[in-house]
Structure 1
Amino acid sequence: MIVQVSAALEYEFFGSTQVVLEIQPATSPDQVIREESLTLPDVPWRSDVAPSGRRRLRGVVSGRVSLGYTGTIDNGSRALLPASGRMEAWSDLPDDVMPYLLPSRFCPSDSLSRFANRTFAEAGDGVARVMAVMDWIAEHVDYVPGASVAQTGADETFTTRAGVCRDFTHLAIALCRALNIPARAASVYALDLDPPDFHAVTEVYVGGAWWMVDPTRLAPVEGMVRIAEDRDAADIAFMTTDRPCTVISQTITVSRA
C-alpha cells in the first residue's frame, strides 16, 4: 500500500531548548520512502539513522517554531500476525531481542506475571497467547481520552481499565513480556485513525520475526507507517525536549496515495 503522511507542528519554546525530533518514517525493508520533505527552523540540525532505519533529528530552538514532515511511503503488503507461531526459547533469541523480555519504565511486566500466566499461559502457541492478550484488553479496557497522564504505567491501566493508545500498548507489552514473549512499542502514522494523530502500537516477536499489532483495534495494521520502536513510550516520543514547551497546533494527516 502507498500511503501519504504529513505532520504539521507549531510549538512555543521558552528560551533555548534542546529538541529530539522523530517524525520521519523509518527506512526499513518493509517500507520504502518514495519522496519526502521536512520543514525545520533555520538552525543547525544533526541527523542520525539507527541500524533499524529509525531516524532522529537533534537541534536547539527557541520562540515560536513550525516543524513539519510530508512523505509518500510504500509499505508493500505489510505482513500481518500469522495464525500460528512458536515462542522462542531464551537461548534461541537474537541478542537484540532479549531486552524486550524485561520490565521497563511503563511496562512493569514482573508485577503482572501471576495474572498473565494464570489467564493466558494455556492459550496455546505464541500467536495464540498474543491474541488472547489482545482479546482480553479489547474486552476489559475502555478507550477514554483523558483517563491517563504521561506518567501512567501498564500496572495502573490494568487497575483503572481505561486509557489511550499508549496505555493499551503498554498493557499489551507488559502482559506479553510476562508470558516470555518479547514485545516493544512502536510509533506510527496510521491510516483511518479517527481522529488522526501519532499512534502507538505493539510489536511482538514470535516465530522468529517481529509482528505489528494494534491493541486499540482503531486502525488497520496494513495502513501503518513505522516511525520508531523501542521498550516503551518513553523511548519513542515524536518530540523530546529538555525544558517545557507549549503546543500551539498539531495536525496529522494520513491518506492513500
Structure 2
Amino acid sequence: MQLKVVATLVYRFDHETPVIVAIEPARSSDQTILSDRLLIDQPAELIRDEDPATGVRRFRAVLSGQVSIQYQGVIDNGARPFLQAGAHQHAWAELPAEVLPYLLPSRFCPSDSLMRFAQREFSDIEAGGAKVLAVVDWLQEHVDYVHGVSNAQTTAEQTFIDRAGVCRDFSHLGIALCRALNLPARAVSVYAAELNPPDFHAVFEVFLDGRWWLVDPTRLAPIEGMVRIAAGRDAADIAFLTSGSLCQCLSQWVEVTRVEEEPAEAA
C-alpha cells in the first residue's frame, strides 16, 4: 500500500535549544520511501542520524523562537502481515543479541512488577503469537481508552492500576505484560491511515518467528495502513521531539492518505 504522509509541528523555543526530532519514516525492509522532504521555516544546521539496525532516522539541530517543522513523504509499506496465533516464541538462547534488551524492564515498562500477574493470568495460553493476542484481548476488556487520565510520566504499572489511558499507555502495558511473559517487545511510533482523529500513534512490536510483528493494542487503526517511524524500549526512545530545555508545542497536525496506484498499461 502506498501512503502519503504530511506531518507539521509548530514549537516555540524561548532561547537557542538543542532538539532531537524523529518524524521521518524509518528505512527498513518492510517499507520503501518513494519520496520525501523535510521543511523547516528557519535556517538550521541539521545533523542526521540513522540507526543501522532499525533504519530509524533522526536529526539534531539548535532551534529558537517559533519554528515550523514539516515532513512530506510517500511510502510503500508493502503488505504488512497480521500476527498469527501460531507464531513461534523463541527460547532466549535462540534470540539475536540485539533483541535481548527488549526482554528487560525499562523506565515506562516495569515488567518485573507485573510478572506474577502476567504469568498467572496467561499461563493457560499457548506460547507465542497466541499469548500476545490474549494480552491484546485482555487490554481491550479491562482498559478504557480515555484522554486526560495519564500524562507523560505515567508508567505501565500505573495504567494497570487505573485501567485507563491513551495509545501510549495501552502500548506500555502491552509491552510490560509481554516482557513479563518472556516475549521480546518494543515501543513503536507510527503514522496510521484511518486513525481518527489523525495523530502520531503509539503501538508495539513483538519478536516471534525470527521477525518483528506490529501490534496495535488499541485496535484504533489497521496494521496494513501503518508507517513505522521509530522503535525503542518505551516512549522515551520514540518521542517525535526531544528538547534540551523547556519549550511549548503550539500545534501539531498529521495527515495520512492512501495513494491510489495507477493500473499498469497493457503491453
Segments of 5+ residues of structure 2 without an aligned counterpart are 260-267
State whether structure 2 residue 258 is matched by structure 1 residue 256.
yes
Instruction: Report SS of the residue matched to 2:220.
Output: coil
Match in the other structure for 1:50:
51
CA contact (8 A) 2:12 2:250 kept: yes
For residue 201 of structure 2, the aligned residue among 185, 188, 199 is 199
User: Could you tell me how far apart the structure 2 residues matched to 1:57 and 1:202 are?
Assistant: 23
Match in the other structure for 1:172:
174
Please report the RMSD computed on the Cα atoms of aligned residues, expressed in angstroms.
Answer: 0.7
**Correspondence list, 1:145-184, <5 A:** 145-184=147-186
Deviations 1:57-92 (A, max 9, x none): 000010010100010000010122123112111111
Match in the other structure for 2:35:
35
State whether structure 2 residue 109 is matched by structure 1 residue 95.
no
Q: CA deviation at 1:125?
A: 2.3
CA contact (8 A) 2:159 2:169 kept: yes
Instruction: Report SS of the residue matched to 2:24.
Output: coil
Match in the other structure for 1:243:
245
Match in the other structure for 1:21:
21
Q: CA deviation at 1:8?
A: 1.0
Deviations 1:81-116 (A, max 9, x none): 123112111111100000000000000000000000
Instruction: Report SS of the residue matched to 2:98.
Output: coil
State whether structure 2 residue 112 is matched by structure 1 residue 110.
yes
CA contact (8 A) 2:84 2:130 kept: no
For residue 78 of structure 1, the aligned residue among 76, 80, 83 is 80
Normalising by structure 2, report the TM-score.
0.95
Question: Counterpart of 1:168 in structure 2: which amino acid?
Answer: F
With 47-56 and 173-182 compared, the bigger mean Cα shift is at 47-56
Identity among equivalent pairs (%): 58
Question: Counterpart of 1:165 in structure 2: which amino acid?
Answer: C
User: Could you tell me how far apart the structure 2 residues matched to 1:148 and 1:223 are?
Assistant: 27
User: Could you tell me how far apart the structure 1 residues matched to 2:131 and 2:80 are?
Assistant: 22
Instruction: Report SS of the residue matched to 1:20.
Output: strand
Segments of 5+ residues of structure 1 without an aligned counterpart are none
Q: CA deviation at 1:121?
A: 2.1
Structure 1 runs (4+) greater than 6 angstroms displaced: none
